[in-house]
Amino acid sequence: MNGWYGKVLRVNLTNQTYIIETVDSQFAKDYIGGRGWAIRYLMDGMDPKVDALSPENMLIFATGPLTGSPAPTGNRYMVVTKSPLTGVLSNSNSGGDFPTWMKRTGFDLFIFEGRAEEPVYLWINDDQVEIRPAGHIWGKQVPESTDIMLAETNPKAKVACIGPAGERLVKVAAIMNDKDRAAARSGVGAVMGSKNLKGVVVNGTHSIGMADLEGMKKLSLSMQREIGEASKTSNLRIYGTAYVPDVTNEMGIFPTRNYQSGRFEGADKINGPALNASFLIRPGACYRCPIACNRITKVDAPGYEGEGEGPEYESIGALGGACGVDNLAAITKANYLCNELGIDTISAGMTIACAMEMYEEGIIPESDIGQPLNFGDADSMITFVKKMGLREGFGDKLAEGSYAMAESYGHPEFSISAKKLEFPGYDPRGAKGMGLLYATSNVGASHMAGDLAYAEVFGTPKKIDPLTIEHKPELIARFEDAFTLIDSSGLCVFLAVRHVFDDDVMLWPTRLTELMNLTTGAGYSPESLLKAAERVYNLERMFLLEAGITREDDTLPPRMLEEPLREGPAAGHTVELDVMLPLFYKVRGWDENGVPTREKLHELDLA
């Protein structure tokens, strides 16, 4: 087989044993790789109803066929598991170096099952798999933990690990890799912690075969050059994703005070130019990436000292605007703390924002929190990021995520989330396609499940009206399938959306098909590749239905459905989900309860 190794490492942490399984080429092709393979393994290997923190949950690290290939940004991996935060699927994605090094071990996927009796870490070095004691690392933060594991194995290896947050089963805990990169969302770090698995260290000498090595090298090199050249003057290189607050604020969709507004008066102080003028040292890149959107930063401001990577737009939105905080030093420091403790910055910021609003409304008593917690209080935002990561005091409640926290006070409506996953930084009342996405995605409110903001906000491939609902069902279904493809292939979204789909808003994967065929030789057409993505998406939906999701869960908070924005270009707007959702089900070939029909499942070879 080319592109795929067709080899899966399955580790039983309870028995401290492992086996190597092979994968046949039809399976490989039908499920593409990465996220696609992972859902098939989940559906075949576990009961979707199990407790996500029980040994019965499966934790999968999944590379795609383009991970470790010559393709530019062929360097992503997925963490797929049942989420302890949402009770539905996790599809968390990360870059850095770890994914390419993982591919060098000679395995496409790692599956971690059961639970180790004592903390352990895994050292996977070509065909050598060791389960090593991690008791002496347990409790340590991500950077120090990473350094210890590298010193004990090979300084040239790469590490994915949890920090204290994952160890303490914080429901919004992340799995960090290369210290600063995060498979952040859905509490995947807590699943890893529940298995007493501190880290995974990878190194190796294997590489995937290429069906057409010369063709792949030629295409990859020309893409690398073209994108590298264009990136020199691109916002992502110059400012990182931090350029976005000015855009979303202008559109009136920037998360502000727990989504009470879409216009933040402090947006100017926490944007890309502000970051460049204050804390940016230089751009950074994931392995061989021509875009280089990472921010290598350092803060010297007293009380906020630190260094590392970020902040990204989503972190600025959640820890900044959503909390009413316009102090960039504080936001950057909070972002470093999230990386060190191993927490999702989006869920952390949005959970604190939820608590801020409920405190100001008099619903959460000050005695529960231990101090005031007002919007705009940067230092308190930082305090509660720390307490959340360590489950200290009121942080223990925040660690459950905004929905559980708000529900415990009898007011779940203050949690701005869908399927209990906190919103990313685009107010759907001013970007209605995103509203349909948040309500329908198989992981809950994630922009990465089908980021129509590319078109509604950023004009790529072209600008569409964010305030209309016509055609959004078809667009969201196609974007969801396209992003399923990206997540299954191993490419980064920042390259893929612009460069491997045709220049049309219905994202047709011509060049992606070419890259997949040059790599795997599997003979995909754009149609069959999209069909495979649709297969994966529908199988994920079946997982959700078996886990207990119903049509009632395909929804948004009352604020999005009933409270119009009061200022900005989207003033007066709510999300007309009641109109879009039935049309979406039809487009998907599902019945009126959001269940894939027999015909649809048959068409996709799922029944």
Partner 1 sequence: MKVQLKLIASYRDFLPPENEGRVEIEISEGVTAVAILKDLGIQIEESVILVDGRSPNPDETLQDGSVVSAFQATAGG
Distance, in Å, from the CA atom of 150 to the CA atom of 201, rounded to the nearest integer, reads 8
Nearest to 200 by CA among 115, 294, 122, 283: 122
CB nearer to partner 1: pick between 241 and 555: 241
**Closest approach of partner 1 to the CB of residue 86, in Å:** 22
**Least CB distance to partner 1 at residue 248 (A):** 9
Question: How far is residue 596 CA from its own chain's centroid?
Answer: 25
Closest distance between partner 1 and the C-beta of residue 230, in Å?
9
**Smallest gap, in angstroms, from Cβ of residue 78 to partner 1?**
19
278 binds partner 1 (CB under 8 A): no
Type of residue found at 134: A
Give the nearer residue to partner 1 in terms of CB position, either 203 or 248.
Answer: 248
Of 515, 510, 507, 450, which is closest to residue 489 (Cα–Cα)?
A: 515
Residues 567 and 252 sit within 8 Å (Cβ to Cβ): yes
> Does 350 sit near partner 1 (CB under 8 A)?
no
CA distance 511 to 451: 19
Binding mask 94-133 for partner 1 (x = CB under 8 A): ----------------------------------------
State the nearest-atom distance from the C-beta of 434 to partner 1, in Å. 11
Q: Which of 72, 87, 114, 252 binds partner 1 (CB under 8 A)?
A: 252
Site map for partner 1, 568-607, x if CB under 8 A?
Answer: xxx-------------------------------------
Q: Does 451 bind partner 1 (CB under 8 A)?
A: yes
The footprint of partner 1 on residues 483-542 (CB under 8 A) is 493-494, 497-498
Q: How far is the CB of 395 from partner 1 (least distance, A)?
A: 27
Contacts with 601 (C-beta within 8 Å, 6 or more apart), sequence order: 538, 607
Q: Measuring CA to CA, which residue among 301, 255, 302, 306 is closest to residue 274?
A: 301
Q: Is 313 in the site for partner 1 (CB under 8 A)?
A: yes
Burial 159-190 (b: 16+ CB within 10 A, else e): bbbbbbbbbbbbbbbbbbbbbbbbbbbbbbbb
Among 247, 381, 385, 549, binds partner 1 (CB under 8 A): 247
Residue 493 CB: number of other CB atoms within 10 A? 19
HSE-CB at 304 with a 13 A cutoff on CA atoms is 21
Output the smallest distance, CB 426 to partner 1, in A: 9
Query: Residue 1 Cβ, how far from partner 1 at the closest point, in Å?
Result: 33
Q: Shortest Cβ distance from residue 464 to partner 1 (Å)? A: 8
DSSP 410-439: T-GGGS-EETTEEP-S--GGGSHHHHHHHH
311 upstream amide cis, omega within 30 of 0:
yes
52 versus 493: smaller Cβ distance to partner 1: 493
> Under the criterion CB under 8 A, does residue 348 sit at the interface with partner 1?
no
- Kindly tell me which of 482 and 497 has the beta carbon lying closer to partner 1: 497
Three-state helix/strand/coil letters over 101-133: HHHCCCCCEEEEECCCCCCEEEEEECCEEEEEE
Say what angle helices 345-360 and 328-341 make with each other, to 10 degrees. 120
Strand stretches in 478-602, DSSP E: none
With CB under 8 A as the contact rule, which of the stretches 179-187, 436-444, 462-470, 537-545 interacts with partner 1?
462-470
Which residues would be at the binding site for partner 1 (CB under 8 A)? Answer: 233-236, 238-244, 246-247, 250-252, 272-273, 312-314, 425, 447, 451, 453-454, 457-460, 463, 465, 467, 493-494, 497-498, 568-570
